[in-house]
Each structure stands twice: as C-alpha cells, then as structure tokens.
Amino acid sequence: MADKLPGKVLVAQGGGPTAVINQSLVGVVLEARKYSHITRVYGALHGVRGIVDEEFIDLTRETTHNLEAVAHTPSSALLSTRDKPDRDYCRRMFEVMRAHGIHYFFYIGGNDSADVARIVNIEAEESGYPLRCVHVPKTIDCDLMENDHTPGYGSAARFVAQAFGGITLDNRALKGVYIGVVMGRHAGFLTAASSLARRYPDDGPHLVYCPERPFDLDRFLGDVDTTMKTHGRCIVAVSEGVADAQGTPILGKLKPISEKDAHGNIQLSGTGALGDGLADYVSKQLKLKRVRADTLGYLQRSFVGCVSDRDANEAREVGEKAVQFALWDDVDGSVAIKRPVLSYSTDYQLVPLGLVAGRTRHMPDEFLNAAGNGVTDAFHAWLRPLVGSGLYETHRLRAPKVEKRPRV
C-alpha cells in the first residue's frame, strides 16, 4: 500500500444514540487499525463539537477487548451533540483536522451528519487538502434515503415490538383503551414495528398511526369507537410526529408548543403531552373510563439488553465497510444498506453524500393501509428479518370452558 496517503483517521458520532451505534464505531476503529499507512485512529468527543474544540482521544491506544465491550454497550461511547454546523463551523472543523494530519474522516449519524461530512469534504477540496469523508449511517427512525433500512432501527423496532407484545397482554387482562406514543418525527417505520406484537387475531395494536398519513382527530375517535365495539378494548400505536392534513402537529393542536431545538424542530420526545392529550380527548369524547397513555420515550433508543443480532452485525459492518471504501478506493460518500433479497440478504454500497445529506425517507405507500390506521403484509415481510433472531413469542391458555351449575 505504498501508493496510499499516510495519515490519521478521525471518527465521531452525532445525533441521537442507538443501541448499536458503538458497533459502527468499533467497526471503524478495528478496521482502520489494520492498515500500515494509518498512523493514528482518533475519536472526537461530543461529535462535531469535539472537533472544533479539538477534544480527541487516541483509539490506537484502546484495547481490543474493551472496544468489543463498548461495542455491546448502547449509546454513543464518543458522546454526541445536537450542534448543527454551518459553513463556518465546518471550516473550523477542517482546520483542526488539517492541523492533526487527519486524512480520513468517518462520521456516524443520520442525515444531518451526512450533510456535515459533505460540507467538510467541500472545504477540504477547496483547500486542495486530501480528506476522505465517509458518512456511516445510523438512526432508529430508519429515515435515510438510499438505504433499505438503517443500523439502530432493527433493535429499536425489536424494543417497540416487545413493548407492545406485553401491552396487548396487559390490556387483555385489564381491558380499556391504551395509547402508546412511539418516536418518529417524520417517518413511521418505528411506530409501525409495534404491529409485530400481534400474534392472535384480537391482539393489539389495533390501530397504528404514522406521520406519512394525515391524522384526523374525528376519524381517530371513530376508529377507537369501532375497535372498542369489536374487541371491548383498544390499543393504539401513534408516532410522536403525527400531523393533520395541513401539516400541523397534533401535539400542537392539543397543547401549545414552546421549546424548539437548534434544528428548529419542536420538542416531541421527553414529554408525555401527546399521549396524555389524546387519552384525555378519547376519554371525554367517547365517555370511557379506563383510558391510559404511555410515551415509550428514551428507552426506545437506549434500553440495555434489547438488541437485534442482525442489527448489531450490520452496524458493525457499515463501520468496517466505510473504512474499506475510503482506504482501498480513495473515495468519499455515504455507506448505504441495500437488500438484494427481501428474506434476506444485505449488500453495502457507497453512494454520494448529497443523496443522503439533509433528506428524509418516508415509508413506502405500500407499507400503510388505505385507511391510514394500520400497516400491510408487505411491511411485515420487510420488517421481520430486521428485528433479529429469538424474538419472544407469547402464548395463551386453550383449556375448554366449564358448564355453569345451579347453586346448591
């Protein structure tokens, strides 16, 4: 590899953590440490913030055993940030990288992170400094363009499926209306995964609402009413980001919004407001007594001990592949997961950063039913392999009824 540019590798993690994001980190580090022309592997603390602040740790001096232990630990081991760099911020990042002789930059994150990699890459090009920038995909929302699915999604989907698996049993034992709010601002993939909890025909969730379909409070009320009349109970899975036909978030219609993050997004997570608002609405309008709401919250992305083995393996591979693309092919881009065979095989391709950066993928139309309150078999066929092996089954008693008797 005498023709290869000697230099350092820098890796960072951005955005919301996932259960397997450290698999990707360790994939990058272990693979990069194999190449003789890589002089160091640095990690930046707190994502892009740690790059402008020059907060690096030397991962060449980390043991393999500890890296493997970290790989199995959820949430970004290099820590994260919600900073959204502008052009000037990216220039400062680039200057720090140049000062350290970093020629390979790997950024693990969602579509905002891909955009950062894209802009830093442009900065380097304009300065005539060789800097390979590769975006490593990560997001529980599964909303990256060019990807069949994203690392982090399978484990979060498994958590949501197991959560609703218990909820439908609980709600069968003590009947009522249950509303579970699932993460997903613009894409309903994670909310839709709740449907995997259904095993028996009357199991919940009976109604699934994703942001891809307009949410109408009256139609929602009618759906709950119909389900209650059919099953005597009703389990609802709803995305935190559901909005009406005009795009107004339902949460905004139920409660005024005050907090916005640095990306200009309103706060949907870390509050029970949507679930409580919907529960209150159902309870009052349908005059039902037992209406409960849970917001699954941060557990969805960080719960310890609920991982899809397939998701973990793929998260590792995208990190490894990112390094292989950059070091063998000397190219920039975003690693994308393709699925040549639905049931199931994986392929990794490097796609241009611009195709992923700042863009959001939504659920394909054929994954959602026409009524906008449920998912299709096509979605299930797509989802099932992603949640991994050993998914728990639930079972019911099948003993015959006993005939009634006259009192003694």
Of the two residues 54 and 216, which places its CB atom closer to a second copy in the complex?
A: 54
Instruction: Provide the minimum distance between the beta carbon of 19 and a second copy in the complex, in angstroms, as a whole number.
Output: 8
Of the two residues 258 and 343, which places its CB atom closer to a second copy in the complex?
A: 258
Instruction: Provide the minimum distance between the beta carbon of 382 and a second copy in the complex, in angstroms, as a whole number.
Output: 22
**Between β-strands 207-209 and 38-44, what pairing exists: parallel, antiparallel or unpaired?**
unpaired
Instruction: Provide the minimum distance between the beta carbon of 138 and a second copy in the complex, in angstroms, as a whole number.
Output: 12
Instruction: Provide the minimum distance between the beta carbon of 168 and a second copy in the complex, in angstroms, as a whole number.
Output: 9
Going from the C-alpha of 145 to that of each of 89, 105, 214, 326, 346, the distances in angstroms are: 25, 21, 22, 21, 16
Catalytic residues: 141
309 Rama sector, left if φ>0, alpha if ψ -120 to 50, beta otherwise: alpha
Residue whose structure tokens are 């949640």? 387
Rounded Cα gap, residues 366 and 376, in angstroms = 7
Of the two residues 67 and 335, which places its CB atom closer to a second copy in the complex?
A: 67
Q: Which two tokens stand for residue 3?
A: 């023709």
Give me the amino acid identity at 125: E
> What is the DSSP annotation of 179-241?
EEEE--SS--HHHHGGGGG--STT-S--EEE-TTS---HHHHHHHHHHHHHHHS-EEEEEETT
**Between β-strands 234-239 and 132-137, what pairing exists: parallel, antiparallel or unpaired?**
unpaired
Instruction: Provide the minimum distance between the beta carbon of 155 and a second copy in the complex, in angstroms, as a whole number.
Output: 11
Of the two residues 10 and 363, which places its CB atom closer to a second copy in the complex?
A: 10
Of the two residues 10 and 337, which places its CB atom closer to a second copy in the complex?
A: 10
